[in-house]
A = this chain, B = another copy of it.
Amino acid sequence: MTRLEQQGAAAKEASRILATAGTAKKNAALEAIAKILAERQAEWLEANALDIAAAKENGMRPAMLDRLTLTPDRVQGIVDAVRQVIALPDPIGRVTKMETRPNGLIIGRRSVPLGVIAIIFEARPNVTVDAAALCLKSGNVCILRGGKEAFRSNIAVTKLMREALSSVGLPEDCISLVQDTSHETANELMHLDKYVDVLIPRGGAGLIRTVAKESSVPVIRTGEGVCHIYIDSEADLDMGANVLYNAKCSRPSVCNAVECVLIAEDVLEPFLKQAVPLLDEKNVELRCDGKSLDILGSRAVPAMESDWDAEYDDYILAVRTVKDVHEAIDFINRHSTGHSESIITKNYFTAQHFLDAVDAAAVYVNASTRFTDGGEFGLGAEIGISTQKMHARGPMGLEELTSSKYIIYGEGQVR
């Protein structure tokens, strides 16, 4: 057995215990985690300082450095998030669809944990705790594989969380960290079918595509966001400009930010006149098709073919003219990643048609794509935004981390 196989086997063993742990026990473990992270944060912060120093030496970009950095305030935020998970209802053990069949069998469907969830993520220390807390509350054991830049931080925080588990009598192996950050080990994890039930990659598009392609463990794809806003010929242009500005500029690095605006040709010029001055505030680079370029001139640059599938995660916006809602829908269904899509229109029928025909996790009428988020949707915390159609689609909260089993009460029935 390799080291990772041993870790997987231990996780599977732990999952048998955690799957039948009650709500009180799981909440006690979460409270113990919150407490130990608050009380012994120095251990975590010290390890993080070493990660930061190494990252600086390796010339990490300031934006990435900021993501990697822990502060007492940030730790407090993470601790608060754990306590919010405690407050959420337990998604395990709900029995739905229970009925008595004509032969007297009583058949119900009960929600159960998925089992062992592996999470591959990049250099954000808060993800380590967020993911572990959501898995724990939903009765799932997690195997965490973080980025190498945060390795020392992750070792420190995992050690604390495992101590907390022990202190309430749950197996330490309910939470574990992959003990090296090599590609070989990541690859081995993707093929640990025997012990891992689900794999969730959290990170850039490249990571996610690689994992989805390579993994023989079932994968949930999350967070790939090439999102569009379509400005209809019957749009309130003022609203459209505001929504576009918000969807692009409020946080361009997140997956629910808009990457491409589609504009009905009837309103192309007036819309651009309203929207561009707002986008100017953040110096948003505009990559335009021919018609919009004709209007914007030197304010814009010509789009290349690759711009129609680009996830910029930056102050860049692709701009394209379409004839009508049908062309917009057709374009979106060909180029979107199925994350979040929005139409701005006053026309009832156009709005309903867009809702029906666009194939995405979240389809909006007259609102910013930025709302696609577990908190905003009322799910509480989320482990990611699923952009696939199997198992879960859209923000994944605790319920989306469950499976089910049928329970059947009989009196000796045979068939």
Copies assembled: 2
Does A321 sit within 8 A of B, measured CB to CB?
no
The answer to whether A408 and B114 have CB atoms under 8 Å apart is no
The answer to whether A370 and B404 have CB atoms under 8 Å apart is no
Name which of A120-128, A242-250, A290-298 contacts chain B: A242-250
Does A376 sit within 8 A of B, measured CB to CB?
yes
Q: Which residue of B lies closest to A351 (CB)?
A: B409
The answer to whether A394 and B406 have CB atoms under 8 Å apart is yes
Give Cα A411–Cα B346 distance, bound, in whole angstroms: 10
Does A277 sit within 8 A of B, measured CB to CB?
no
Does A371 sit within 8 A of B, measured CB to CB?
yes
Q: Mark A324-365, 1 if CB is under 8 A from B, else 0.
A: 000000000100000000000000000000011101111111
Q: Chain B's nearest CB lies how many Å from the CB of A364?
A: 5
Residues of B within 8 A of A145 (CB): none
The answer to whether A378 and B101 have CB atoms under 8 Å apart is yes
Q: Give A347-401 interface residues, CB cut-off 8 Å to B.
A: 355-357, 359-368, 370-372, 376-378, 388-391, 393-394
**Contacts known (A367-B413, A368-B413, A390-B391); A378 close to B99, Cβ less than 8 A:** yes
The answer to whether A250 and B414 have CB atoms under 8 Å apart is yes
Give Cα A193–Cα B215 distance, bound, in whole angstroms: 14
Give Cα A220–Cα B388 distance, bound, in whole angstroms: 14
Of the residues B246, B247, B414, contact of A242 by C-beta under 8 Å: B414
The answer to whether B408 and A363 have CB atoms under 8 Å apart is yes
Q: Mark A82-117, 1 if CB is under 8 A from B, else 0.
A: 000000000000000001010001010100101100
Q: Which residue of B lies closest to A107 (CB)?
A: B377
**Contacts known (A362-B405, A394-B405, A405-B360); A242 close to B412, Cβ less than 8 A:** yes
Of the residues B20, B216, B378, B388, contact of A212 by C-beta under 8 Å: B216
The answer to whether B403 and A389 have CB atoms under 8 Å apart is yes
Q: Chain B's nearest CB lies how many Å from the CB of A386?
A: 10
The answer to whether A405 and B213 have CB atoms under 8 Å apart is no
Does A70 sit within 8 A of B, measured CB to CB?
no
Interface centre among A377, A388, A406 (most CB of B within 10 A): A406
Does A410 sit within 8 A of B, measured CB to CB?
yes
Residues of B within 8 A of A368 (CB): 410, 413-415
The answer to whether A371 and B115 have CB atoms under 8 Å apart is no
Q: Which residue of B lies closest to A410 (CB)?
A: B367
Give Cα A197–Cα B388 distance, bound, in whole angstroms: 8
Does A19 sit within 8 A of B, measured CB to CB?
yes
The answer to whether A411 and B359 have CB atoms under 8 Å apart is no
Does A16 sit within 8 A of B, measured CB to CB?
yes
Q: Which residue of B lies closest to A394 (CB)?
A: B406
Q: Which residue of B lies closest to A242 (CB)?
A: B414
Does A239 sit within 8 A of B, measured CB to CB?
yes
Of the residues B216, B376, B407, B413, contact of A371 by C-beta under 8 Å: B413
Q: Chain B's nearest CB lies how many Å from the CB of A332?
A: 11
**Contacts known (A391-B390, A404-B393); A367 close to B105, Cβ less than 8 A:** yes
**Additional A-B contact list (15), CB under 8 Å, known A105-B376, A363-B406:** A16-B359, A105-B367, A109-B394, A114-B389, A114-B390, A212-B216, A213-B216, A218-B219, A365-B408, A365-B409, A365-B410, A367-B408, A371-B408, A376-B415, A377-B406
